[in-house]
Amino acid sequence: MSNHAVQDKVYQNPGNPQILRWIPPGARAVLDVGCGAGENARLIAALGAAVDGVTLSEAEAAIARPHLRSVHLHNLEGGLPPEMTGPYDAVTASHVLEHICFPEALLRDVRARLAPGGVFIVAIPNMLTIKYRLRLLLGRIEYEAKGIMDNTHFRWYTFRSFQQLLSAHGYQVVEAYGTGYFPLPLLRELLPGALSAALDRLSCRLFPGLFAIQLVFVARPTAKAD
């Protein structure tokens, strides 16, 4: 996280399956950037990897610590803690980059700490999903305590612009997709579950910027020069 307003905020959730699915088989060391209360770290550790974490929140660090090899209290605006040298087989950032005002130093440091063949796995919220496009069209852009309009979100990215950001900082995007749903008010209860799920997958694959709630990117370093 990136400012003092979130030092005492605790982000807890069941973990992000779309992050976990891209952890390389046999990964031995993983860095969880913005580790929250450690739910992803716990699940990654269960795969056999040692997990280091970074958070700005002391409350989060206290909860996450049992699941981590080490946890560092650090403001990611300045990049990663210098003592975290890696190398890491994977670096994860689940709903973190939107909290960072200036991500350049963090992207540089992540790239430098990835092991050969390592992957950077990122998930971010999609502000331009259809629900929020309609709100913007109606002139509504109120922040909320949590969710896509979380009041600690400072940066917004589109499906395309985030890939451009990664490419500009020495990464090759090897996977990019969205997860979400196709709006079917009332009809969803009448349709077979398998049909609804298939429609959700198809709409997010064809139009991730419009229907995805979450955007997921998997990238590898392509260059060491800044």
Task: Note the pLDDT tens digit of each residue in 5-33.
Answer: 455 677 777 789 999 999 999 999 999 99
Q: What is the pLDDT of residue 117?
A: 95
For the chain, which residues score pLDDT lower than 70?
Answer: 1-8, 223-226
Give the closest residue to 44 by CA, choosing from 98, 89, 107: 89
Local structure of residue 217 (DSSP, 8 states): E
Instruction: For 29-80, give the DSSP string.
Output: EEEEET-TTSHHHHHHHTTT-EEEEEES-HHHHHHHGGG-SEEEE--GGG-S
Strands of the sheet with 50-55, listed across from one edge? 70-73, 50-55, 29-33, 88-94, 114-125, 212-221, 171-180
What is the CATH number assigned to the segment(s) 4-221? Answer: 3.40.50.150
Q: Helix-strand-coil percent breakdown of the chain, rounded to 5? A: 35, 25, 40
- Sorted by where each begins, the domain ranges of the chain are 4-221
Please name the residues in contact with 175: beta carbons below 8 A apart, sequence gap of 6 or more.
Answer: 22, 216, 217, 218
Residue 53, strand partner residues: 32, 71
Task: Note the pLDDT tens digit of each residue in 82-114.
Answer: 999 989 999 999 999 999 999 999 999 999 999
